[in-house]
Amino acid sequence: MRLTFTIQRFNPEVDSIPHPEEIRLDVGRGMTVLDALIRIKQECDGSLALRYSCRSAICGSCAMTINGSEKLACRTSLRKELERHGRIMVAPLRNLPVIKDLVVDMASFWEKIHDVHPWLVAAVRPARAPVPTLTEAGDHLNPQFHNVDACIMCGACVAACTVHEVSKGFVGPAALAKADRFLSDPRESTSVTRARLSSLQDENGMWDCTRCNFCVEVCPKDVKPMEAIIRLRRASLERGLTKTGGARHILGFTDLVEQQGRLNEAIMPLKVVGFAPRDLMRILPLGIKMFFKGKIPNPLGHAIPGLRNLQALIRRARRITPPA
Ligand code: SF4
Ligand code: SF4
Ligand code: FES
């Protein structure tokens, strides 16, 4: 079958902006998008730039945008893409600088991974005492580190992240998942764990995630970075790291629901920003807009009927929530 591929091309030496280019190729059964791109490079246009190595969904280097979403080209079937989209459009990973054609600059990705110290900082122990093996340390409780170890550093989650799209400083789903992996390692001391969590409290850290779930959807290895971020947040709250707006939002929300049985938008901002005049002035315009749109309920409104039952449920949930 002869197929038309639309490939986003960009050569920094001659192009000012990227542009789509159509290339036709005879394809066979069972081919992946990567198979086709390699054939295009070999048979149609040797100047096409792309990255690949293992061709087996192991090295993570062939991540790109295929028909609008982030995928590994080596494990994306041409036939399935055609069935689903009726076309094959290929572009580089989004929200990362393009070096040439389908090759992006991953420097910022690696810097962020490096910044979370992706190595084991073992607890201080007497000289010559051996580092415990994972089994000795109790890995049977957590043998897969929630599958975070499966990450192949392909960058697909970062390219798809809606926060990274607007805020390039955001540490991002891959680095946060990596931080969570060490949080789950029983060989790290409690002080190291606390230091790890503390370093991720600031702007661009764990609380900036909007829980859009795109990182989970695109991850080819089922790492579920967003769930890792939720574990980091829970662990922070359990260790009393509650100064950030995100942490205060969660605690305020829970307080209100426990007291009144529902969210009260009139009180919620005070729970998040407190009574500091400067912060209150910052949110005042939003409050005025909400007021005129009828979105601010009576701050002294009554609790919902059956509040006691709800409070009993919350207490029960707290008792059975597993540790992060
Ligand atoms: S869930 Fe959070 S980290 Fe994941 S893509 Fe959305 S904003 Fe980014
Ligand atoms: S978490 Fe998934 S999508 Fe993100 S870099 Fe790792 S393997 Fe790729
Ligand atoms: S070529 Fe290695 S993951 Fe695709």
CA of 223 to the centre of ligand 2 (A): 7
Pocket lining: 154 vs ligand 2, CB cutoff 6 Å: yes
Distance CA 290, CA 296 (A): 6
Across the range 276-292, mean pLDDT stands at: 86
Closest CA to 225 of 185, 170, 194, 181: 181
Distance CA 225, CA 217 (A): 10
Q: For residue 286, what are the contacts with CB-CB under 8 A and spacing of at least 6? A: none
Distance CA 32, CA 39 (A): 11
Q: What share of the chain in percent tops pLDDT 90?
A: 69
Q: For 153-212, what is each residue's pLDDT tens digit?
A: 999 999 999 999 999 999 999 999 999 998 878 888 888 999 999 999 999 999 999 999
Residue nearest ligand 2's atom 4 by CA: 157
Tokens of 285: 């315009």
Distance CA 185, CA 281 (A): 43
Across the range 247-255, mean pLDDT stands at: 92
Residue list, ligand 3 pocket, CB within 6 Å: 52-55, 57-62, 72, 74
Closest CA to 11 of 46, 63, 55, 61: 46
Whether residue 142 contacts residue 186, with contact meaning beta carbons closer than 8 Å, is answered with yes
Of residues 261 and 187, which shows the higher confidence score?
A: 261
Whether this model's pTM surpasses 0.85? yes
- Mutate which of 104, 146, 153, 216 to test ligand 2's pocket (most atoms within 8 Å of Cβ)? 153
Pocket lining: 212 vs ligand 1, CB cutoff 6 Å: yes
Residue nearest ligand 1's atom 1 by CA: 211
